[in-house]
Amino acid sequence: MSIKLCIAFICCISFTLSAQDFQGIAYYQSKTTIDMDGFGGRQMSEEQKRQIAERMKSMFEKTYVLTFNRAESIYREEEKLETPGAGGGMRFGGFMSSFTGGPQYKNVKESQLLQEQEFFGKQFLVTDSLPALKWTMESETKQIGQYLCFKATAIKSVDEMDMTSFRRRDRDNEEKKEGDEKADSSKTNNPIAEVEVPKQIIVTAWYTPQIPVNQGPGEYWGLPGLILEVNADRTTILCSKIVINPQEKQEIKMPSKGKKVTRDEYNAIMKEKIEEMRENFGGRNRGNFRRN
């Protein structure tokens, strides 16, 4: 039996979405691993690495809630008390704590993506169209909880300011290619210049036709079933719980707070602030960021 016929069969025996008020809630655990060696970790002891990794856990291990219907969804971080001392004592941690992602809204019928974003005390409403990933449907299946899931893969272009994909720049390889034009990494005082983001990554998604909506966590969507797991570069997002048609209906409200900007405009603002951080770091005026 082909993948399409198998999916169609599962959809026929799964619950119906005919009700206008259909809704679901899915809970996801998101975890991003960081290459400590790539960020100066080679000079650290194992104990220092462990301590820093523990401090960064609150930034790279999060729980999200996706509230969805057939056309819309809202994806937000689950609120929880911060662990005392988490992220403290680190310049990078201080920078990341000033970068707070708010609710993310998707409308798959209108191909609309909205995200509230706080950056250094300012509120923005980032507007974008939904990324149209070209999914390749695979025959591999696996069970996630009570749901039979199918595998799909795609090549995704990475946002240049996606901090979950930051990695140390390969200076040695660049110098071999371009001679002495590139500055030696040991001579620069710009930590941002030492990192880069890959232009593309391979995304693996696992979706279940038993919940036939083309929604998923974050910006992921476009498959014939709810996406329950995503593996993208160093980030894994896994669904831990699903509630279908909860007794108390949840409002899926389009975000509206903040200055409305496009993704490109928002990235430009981030770059400006990062350059400001670099100047302050080089001038030994650490932690003092100008606010326009």
% of residues, the chain, pLDDT over 90: 45
Domain that includes residue 81, residue range: 3-282
Contacts made by residues 94-97, CB under 8 angstroms, sequence distance 24+: 94/287, 95/277, 96/59, 96/163, 97/59
Supply φ then ψ for residue 9, to 5 degrees: -65, -45
Render the burial of 31-42: b for 16+ CB within 10 Å, e for the rest.
ebebebeebebe
Is residue 170 scored above 80 in pLDDT? no
- Report yes or no on 200 lying in a domain: yes
Average pLDDT, the chain: 78
The answer to whether the CB of 142 falls within 8 A of the CB of 161 is: no
In a domain, 274, yes or no: yes
pLDDT at 150 over 50: yes
Assess if residue 288 is contained within a domain. no
CB 167 within 8 A of CB 195: yes
What are the tens digits of pLDDT across the range 60-101?
A: 789 999 999 999 999 999 876 555 544 444 455 445 555 667
Residue-wise pLDDT tens digits, 230-247 = 999 889 999 999 999 998
pLDDT of residue 223: 97
Are 106 and 113 a contacting pair, CB within 8 Å?
A: yes
Q: Is residue 289 included in any domain, yes or no?
A: no
Confidence label for 165 from pLDDT (cuts 50, 70 and 90): low
Q: How many CA atoms lie within 13 Å of 67's alpha carbon, on the beta-carbon side?
A: 16
In a domain, residue 247? The reply is yes
292 in a structural domain: no
Number of domain units in the chain = 1
Q: What share of the chain is helix, strand, coil (3-state, %, to 5)?
A: 25, 35, 40
Provide the pLDDT for residue 46. Answer: 72
Q: What does the pLDDT read at residue 183?
A: 45
The answer to whether residue 229 is domain-embedded is: yes
Min mean pLDDT across 209-223, 231-245, 266-280 is at 266-280
* Coil vs helix vs strand at 208: strand
Contact predicate 258/272, CB 8 Å: no
263 located within any domain: yes
Strand 200-208 to 147-157 pairing? antiparallel
Minimum mean pLDDT range among 139-143, 155-159, 280-284: 280-284
Q: Is the pTM of this model over 0.75?
A: yes
